[in-house]
Amino acid sequence: MYAARPLFVFLLGLPVFPAHAHDHTSSVDCAARPARQAAAGGSASSVDYRGMAADRGALNTYLTSLSAVSEQEYAGCSRARQMAFLINAYNAFTIDLVLSRYPDPKSIKDLGSTFRSPWKRKLFVLPGQKGSLDDIEHGMLRAPGIFDEPRIHVAVVCASIGSPMLQPQAFTPEQLDR
């Protein structure tokens, strides 16, 4: 179980795709590490939003590095590297969305409106285009003929109680099947 403090692990200053080899293990831990396994046999998790809110700079640096990836850099990566990049980006941008109004929202749904879900808000540039969480999940990860990966539902975490657990480590191309 993780301590209830921010656990940011960064190698700041490194480009997101050095030589087309994104190393999420050093960068995305800011998004994955705050997950703490609940006592219920590790079948649920919670995120240390309070700790993350105290040091938004590390998360913002990571998100900025994700948004700096061009379409050309992204296209030059392997399928597994692209998938790990998108999963980690989805999870990090979801955490950032919750933090945007922390501690007020009782639910991520409070961050939307009657006519627009929070998952459809254009929040970032990735890769090279303005996008939403839905764009990552449905337009990229679940789009027919691209990844065709049904297990994506256990990797992307929408900050809801009924959502899968946020894993305590980043997704890497080498470990996607685990």
Domain range summary for the chain, segments of one domain joined by +: 18-175
Q: Which residues are paired to 130 by β-bridges?
A: 125
Show Cβ contacts of residue 138 under 8 Å, excluding neighbours closer than 6 positions: none
Tell me which H or E stretch contains 94. Answer: helix 79-99
Question: Which stretches in the chain have pLDDT values below 70?
Answer: 1-45, 109-110, 112
pTM here is 0.77
What's the pLDDT score for residue 8?
Answer: 33
Contact 83, 36 (CB under 8 A): no
Q: Please write the tens of the pLDDT for every residue from 9-44.
A: 332 333 344 433 445 444 444 444 444 444 445 666
Q: How far is it, in rounded angstroms, from Cα 118 to Cα 98?
A: 10
Q: How far is it, in rounded angstroms, from Cα 27 to Cα 103?
A: 25
How many residues are recorded in the chain? 178
Q: Is 40 exposed, middle or buried (0-12, 13-18, 19+ CB in 10 A)?
A: exposed
